Amino acid sequence: MQSAVILANNLSKEFITTKKSSGLRGAVKNLFKPEKTVKRAVDHVSFEITKGEIVGYIGPNGAGKSTTIKMMCGILNPTGGNVLINGMSPVNQRQKIVMDLGVVFGQRSQLYWDLPLGESFELLRRIYLVDRAKYEANLAELDRILNVHEFIDTPVRQLSLGQRMRGDLAAAMLHSPSVLFLDEPTIGLDVDVKYAIRKFIKEINEKYQTTVILTTHDLDDIQALCKRIIIINDGIIVSDSPLEELIEQELGHRLLIVELSAGDFHVTHPKAEITPLGSNRLQLKFRKDEISAAALISDISAQYQIRDLQIKEADINDVIRQIYARSKAACL
């Protein structure tokens, strides 16, 4: 039996915050009768992730993504349910689990602020008990993709965001963990660095079968990397399926946009929904299981002369926006 690398079972986290009323009267009230509100950041979340998967964990701001990741790597204790990483619970076997875990929070560096990057690496080598030969080999390998040698002697606090993120990623992989948690690793990065990071994730996944959980607001990251995505909204998982299936389900249709030469035309087609776009252009919305794009084009060109055409694939941004909107409506 192939056991799950990560197994979350009704995992929940509640935060209790005291509401602050303003003014003197409010201050007195806060002192004697604080108003407590319970925020269910993560609400009965269950999933199973097997070795070698790259899973996109996405959701709008405040959905509970970071909170879930923090429970998985032992930073937060769940208020309900549990999670097992390699069969162990972070609640009572934190040290053992994190030995085989890499963690990157895009918002907050895990490196040591005052130390040059190289010394942080050296320190991590000792913390994770990596022997020197292995360490040198790993570092050389990581450097090939992330180019960290350029700034290895610079103290971390002097690094630019992109440099720091590359440093953080390298640091997370120095001890060759089997599971990698990446919470917004591409936040605020330029195209080149984003590309390098995607390439890095892809390579380590292929080469070492590293299991990767990735949260991001950049859906291009998802499209480039993840076969499976889990969507969370308001603490609840609203979807967990392969990316292709999700797109298929949500947007079965595609768009064909044609520009015709003739000025006056009247196009109809039984299998397409047609909207004029002006200046001789038309949008045809069709389902790909009903008619192929080629058939549709030849039907139209039989009637009118086509000057130019364009087929729009389903856009993952639209899909996700649609799902967020629907789950939000369901909450109300």
Partner 1 sequence: MKTLSRYGLMAMTLLKINIQRGLEYPAHLIGWLISNPLQFIFGLITIKVVISNFQALGGWSFEQTVFLYGLGIISHGLSVVLFIQTWYMGFLITEGELDRMLVRPLNVFFQFCFFDFNFIGLTDMLPGIIIFTYGCMAASFQFTLANTLNLLLALVGATALRGGLYTIIGALSFWIQRSRQLIGVQWKLFDYSAKYPMNIYPPIVQGIFTFLLPIGFICFYPASQLLYANAGFALPGNLCLWTFAVGIGFYMLGMMVFKIGLRWYESCGS
Ligand X SMILES: Nc1ncnc2c1ncn2[C@@H]1O[C@H](COP(=O)(O)OP(=O)(O)OP(=O)(O)O)[C@@H](O)[C@H]1O
Q: Who's near 329: CB < 8 A, 6+ residues apart?
A: none
57-86 residues in contact with Mg ion (CB under 5 A) are 66
Residue 231 one-letter amino acid: I
Site for partner 1 contains 73 (CB under 8 A): yes
Segment interacting with partner 1, rule: CB under 8 A, options 107-115, 158-166, 276-284, 290-298: 107-115
Distance in Å, CB of 181 to partner 1, minimum = 9
Exposure class string for 254-285: b at 16+ Cβ within 10 A, else e: bbbebebeeeeeeeeeeebebeeeeebbbbbe
Segment interacting with ligand X, rule: CB under 6 A, options 59-67, 79-87, 147-155, 256-264: 59-67
38-67 residues in contact with partner 1 (CB under 8 A) are 62, 66
* Binds 187: which of Mg ion, partner 1, ligand X, none (CB < 5-8 Å by kind): none
Q: State the binding string over 182-221 for partner 1 (x if CB under 8 A, else -).
A: -x--------------------------------------
Residue 329 one-letter amino acid: A
Nearest-angstrom CA–CA distance, 212 and 109: 18
Report the residue from 26, 34, 62, 188 that binds ligand X according to the rule CB under 6 A. Answer: 62
Cα dihedral 190, 193, 195, 200 sign: negative
Given a contact cutoff of 8 angstroms between Cβ atoms, the answer to whether 180 and 100 are in contact is no
Q: State which residue, 139 or 222, has the beta carbon closest to Mg ion.
A: 222
Report the residue from 19, 20, 39, 288 that binds ligand X according to the rule CB under 6 A. Answer: 39
Report the residue from 49, 56, 65, 189 that binds ligand X according to the rule CB under 6 A. Answer: 65
Report the residue from 5, 6, 11, 41 that binds ligand X according to the rule CB under 6 A. Answer: 41
Site for partner 1 contains 128 (CB under 8 A): yes
Nearest-angstrom CA–CA distance, 173 and 100: 10
Q: State the binding string over 2-31 for ligand X (x if CB under 6 A, else -).
A: -------------x-x--------------
Nearest-angstrom CA–CA distance, 216 and 191: 15
Q: In terms of C-beta density within 10 A (0-12 exposed, 13-18 middle, 19 or more buried), how is residue 81 classed?
A: middle
Size of the site for partner 1 (CB under 8 A): 30
Site for partner 1 contains 135 (CB under 8 A): no
Given a contact cutoff of 8 angstroms between Cβ atoms, the answer to whether 45 and 239 are in contact is no
Given a contact cutoff of 8 angstroms between Cβ atoms, the answer to whether 287 and 295 are in contact is no
Radius of gyration of the chain (CA): 25
Report the residue from 66, 210, 211, 327 that binds ligand X according to the rule CB under 6 A. Answer: 66
Distance in Å, CB of 68 to ligand X, minimum = 7
Chain centroid to Cα 238, Å, comes to: 15
* Binds 279: which of partner 1, ligand X, Mg ion, none (CB < 5-8 Å by kind): none
Site for partner 1 contains 94 (CB under 8 A): yes
* Closest to 219 (Cα-Cα) out of 241, 243, 251: 243
Nearest-angstrom CA–CA distance, 34 and 19: 7
Residues that bind ligand X (CB under 6 A): 15, 17, 39, 41, 59, 61-67
Applying CB under 8 A, the residues found at the interface with partner 1 are: 15, 62, 66, 70, 73-77, 94-96, 98-99, 101, 103, 105, 107-108, 110, 112, 114-115, 119, 123, 126-129, 183
